[in-house]
Structure 1
Amino acid sequence: DQIHLTLYKISNKQLKNRLNPIIIYSNYRKSFNRTLERIYKEQIQSNYDVNQTRISINNTLRDALTDEYQCSALKTAMQCITGAAGADNVPTDFCNRILTKQRSFNWAVLPDKPSSIDGNVRPFAVLITIRGVHNRTDYNSYNEYYMNVKNFFNSYIKQHAPEHLKHAWFSSPNFAFYGVQRELLSGSSSSLLVSLGIALVVLFLTSGNLFIAVYALITVTFAIAITVSVFVVLEWELGIIEGIVIVMAVGLSVDFVVHFGVGYIHIDPTDIDNERKKIEDQSKPNGNENDSKINTLRVMYRKQQVERTTRVRGSILRVGSAVFMAAFTTFAAGFSMIFASVIAIRQMGQFLMAIMLTSWSFSMFFFLPLCLIIGPVGICGSIPFSRLIKCFKQTPRQQ
């Protein structure tokens, strides 16, 4: 009767307008819904005791079995995370407190099509809430915790889940930051390896010598390793900016060693011939055949060493000052950035200073001494690109 009376009042009020006697359905629905809501609340408050209903629901057999299953699952989870000794020492009242205060189960039916197995079961999610405090900045402990929880749920689903739920998986929004950390760790390593591979190809194409490219790659690898060690000493944490910085380190550290390598290869042949003639003039063969062979090997070794020395000296004289000024100016630019209040700018300044210092030092005091000791001489390790180009040009094209 009350509902009918409400409908009559709403209709009569809107139809009294003689100029435009129509019903506005939006106002009609709003008024009707508010009326129904008030009526339903009054009926519930008058006919049902909320506290009694809550007590009766909590004391059902299903709720007791759920508490038992949850307590057993919690002890199993504690055993999975802390070990058998830790699980044996977990008291029952602790599990009960965790279940009542810090743990909850919810079921959510996903808006998807029914299962293709029987046509009745829809996809759903089991939402398990566990409150706790965990250090998210420590990747090792966070990774161990995640793997333990994931392995526990995977094994539990595999053993106890119904047939149409065997493909369920564990997921939690609280591990979103852990996923970012894991991708940064693996992505930075793989990106660094790819960058080093590309650097090797670029070094080989620019220098035209396989040994120089390998020596330069070793130099760049050591420079990047020392730079990353400096970041660890400065207590950097691996983030998006730090991952980009590590990949950029390869490109910036290759520059100096490329200049020295190209200067080593493209030395003036006249200087090398003059130094070789000096060695030949200094060595005087005698009449003994054995001494002549030894002297020939000695002269050959001295010629190779003087060629390496000439190449290293020429490389330093040609590009040494330019490389030093480039490193110094970039180092000075980074030094001016370390006094910034923004952390990203300050870290970028530290990165520029570290990478310039390490890359220049290794290219000057590691790469050049390495070439001085075991550097290639003559055409050893060189690829005759000019001959290959001429060969391709002289090859007759098929019409």
Structure 2
Amino acid sequence: ISGAHNRTDYNSYNKYYMKVKNFFDSYIKQHAPEHLKHAWFSSSNFAFYGVQRELLSGSSSSLLVSLGIALVVLFLTSGNLFIAIYALITITFAIAITVGVFVVLEWELGIIEGIVIVMAVGLSVDFVVHFGVGYIHIDPTDIDNERKKIEDQSKPNGNENDSKINTWRVMYRKQQVERTTRVRGSILRVGSAVFMAAFTTFAAGFSMIFASVIAIRQMGQFLMAIMLTSWSFSMFFFLPLCLIIGPVGICGSIPFSRLIKCFKQTPRQQ
């Protein structure tokens, strides 16, 4: 069996491996005795290819598992299903852009690169979860004050049709002003802290890109890329998304206090 292949090129070596595998599978099926029908071939020449294949499949599966765990953590910390879903979409976009940066930098998938991709989920979830929690746990007094301003500005007239239209208009404006209040409050509460966290980590990564060791230099590039993308998507994607279609009131919220009461044992009367 002959074939042009490059040990460092996964695609060409994968074609060669499949060619050898198909040959041995068909040969074993036709000529091997019954007790060897389930045999397989092995060669030390495919050791590096095996590492590459496991890294490719393992990195993808680990990334999906990490995103699933991140969704659960986001849901438990925010207590709102919509915020958790919006945050997961934000994290996915940030990781996709980060991986695209790695491709532009001509990274090759290895052990360090596989670990870095999985780490990207944990590092990118930090900023969006702060903004999400800040959006949900806003002071209700601020929302009530803004809603009251909308009610004061809306003056109903005697026309019944106009009154119905005005009611829907007031309801829509109340929802929009609540979203605006929540987003503004989230930025005021955690915006500066999130920015400083991203900036300091970005600066730490910047100091590592001048190292002569490739692994350290790649780690610095990773920190810079993930901090820039995760902070940018948290600020300019997640918050605008909440501003447009963010949950209002108790929409999507899970009443954890009621669930806790259900598990508490009520005292018996003597």
Could you say whether these structures have the same fold, taking a TM-score greater than 0.5 normalized by the shorter chain as the test?
yes
Match of 1:332 in 2: 203
2:237 partner SS: helix
Deviations 1:149-191 (A, max 9, x none): 1011110121123344433321111001010001000000000
2:5 partner SS: coil
Deviations 1:50-104 (A, max 9, x none): xxxxxxxxxxxxxxxxxxxxxxxxxxxxxxxxxxxxxxxxxxxxxxxxxxxxxxx
Deviations 1:328-366 (A, max 9, x none): 000000000000000000000000000000000000000
Deviations 1:312-333 (A, max 9, x none): 0000000000000000000000
Instruction: Output the aligned Cα RMSD.
Output: 1.8
* d(CA) in 2 for partners of 1:203, 1:167: 46
* d(CA) in 2 for partners of 1:334, 1:166: 54
* d(CA) in 2 for partners of 1:286, 1:316: 38
Is this contact kept in 1: 2:3–2:16, CA < 8 A? no
**Is 2:240 aligned against 1:352?**
no
> Measured at CA, do residues 398 and 383 of structure 1 come closer, stay the same or move farther in structure 2, by a change above 3 Å?
farther
* d(CA) in 1 for partners of 2:173, 2:109: 50
Distance apart, 1:398 and its partner CA: 13
Match of 2:101 in 1: 230
Match of 1:370 in 2: 241
Q: Where has structure 1 moved over 4 Å in runs of 4 or more?
A: 130-133, 396-399
Distance apart, 1:134 and its partner CA: 2.9
> Measured at CA, do residues 280 and 199 of structure 1 come closer, stay the same or move farther in structure 2, by a change above 3 Å?
same
> Measured at CA, do residues 227 and 398 of structure 1 come closer, stay the same or move farther in structure 2, by a change above 3 Å?
farther
TM-score (norm 1): 0.66
Distance apart, 1:273 and its partner CA: 0.3
Number of residues of Structure 1 aligned to a counterpart in Structure 2: 270
* d(CA) in 1 for partners of 2:267, 2:48: 61
**Is 2:25 aligned against 1:151?**
no
How many percent identity over aligned positions?
96
* d(CA) in 2 for partners of 1:353, 1:315: 24
1:394 partner SS: coil
Distance apart, 1:145 and its partner CA: 1.2
* d(CA) in 1 for partners of 2:127, 2:157: 47
* d(CA) in 2 for partners of 1:283, 1:394: 48
Q: What 5-or-longer segments of structure 1 have no aligned partner?
A: 1-129
Distance apart, 1:389 and its partner CA: 1.7
Distance apart, 1:391 and its partner CA: 3.0
Is this contact kept in 1: 2:208–2:220, CA < 8 A? yes
Counting only pairs closer than 5 Å after superposition, residues 373-388 of structure 1 correspond to structure 2 as 373-388=244-259
1:134 partner SS: coil
* d(CA) in 2 for partners of 1:387, 1:239: 48
* d(CA) in 1 for partners of 2:157, 2:2: 92
Distance apart, 1:390 and its partner CA: 2.5
* d(CA) in 2 for partners of 1:174, 1:218: 41
* d(CA) in 1 for partners of 2:173, 2:4: 69
Distance apart, 1:300 and its partner CA: 0.1
* d(CA) in 2 for partners of 1:132, 1:199: 44
Is this contact kept in 1: 2:6–2:13, CA < 8 A? yes
Match of 2:117 in 1: 246
Deviations 1:9-28 (A, max 9, x none): xxxxxxxxxxxxxxxxxxxx
> Measured at CA, do residues 195 and 164 of structure 1 come closer, stay the same or move farther in structure 2, by a change above 3 Å?
closer
Distance apart, 1:392 and its partner CA: 2.3
> Measured at CA, do residues 164 and 389 of structure 1 come closer, stay the same or move farther in structure 2, by a change above 3 Å?
closer
Deviations 1:210-267 (A, max 9, x none): 0000000000000000000000000000000000000000000000000000000000
Distance apart, 1:282 and its partner CA: 0.5
> Measured at CA, do residues 382 and 287 of structure 1 come closer, stay the same or move farther in structure 2, by a change above 3 Å?
same
Match of 1:198 in 2: 69
Higher relative contact order by CA 8 Å / sep ≥ 6: 1 or 2? Answer: 2
Is this contact kept in 1: 2:82–2:247, CA < 8 A? yes
* d(CA) in 2 for partners of 1:393, 1:167: 56
Distance apart, 1:397 and its partner CA: 8.2
* d(CA) in 2 for partners of 1:348, 1:379: 41
Distance apart, 1:133 and its partner CA: 6.6
* d(CA) in 1 for partners of 2:265, 2:259: 10
2:264 partner SS: helix
Which structure shows the bigger proportion of residues in helix conformation?
2
Deviations 1:264-317 (A, max 9, x none): 000000000000000001111010101100000000000000000000000000
> Measured at CA, do residues 396 and 141 of structure 1 come closer, stay the same or move farther in structure 2, by a change above 3 Å?
farther
* d(CA) in 1 for partners of 2:22, 2:2: 20
Higher Cα Rg, which structure: 1
> Measured at CA, do residues 320 and 284 of structure 1 come closer, stay the same or move farther in structure 2, by a change above 3 Å?
same
**Is 2:190 aligned against 1:319?**
yes
Distance apart, 1:132 and its partner CA: 7.7
**Is 2:7 aligned against 1:136?**
yes
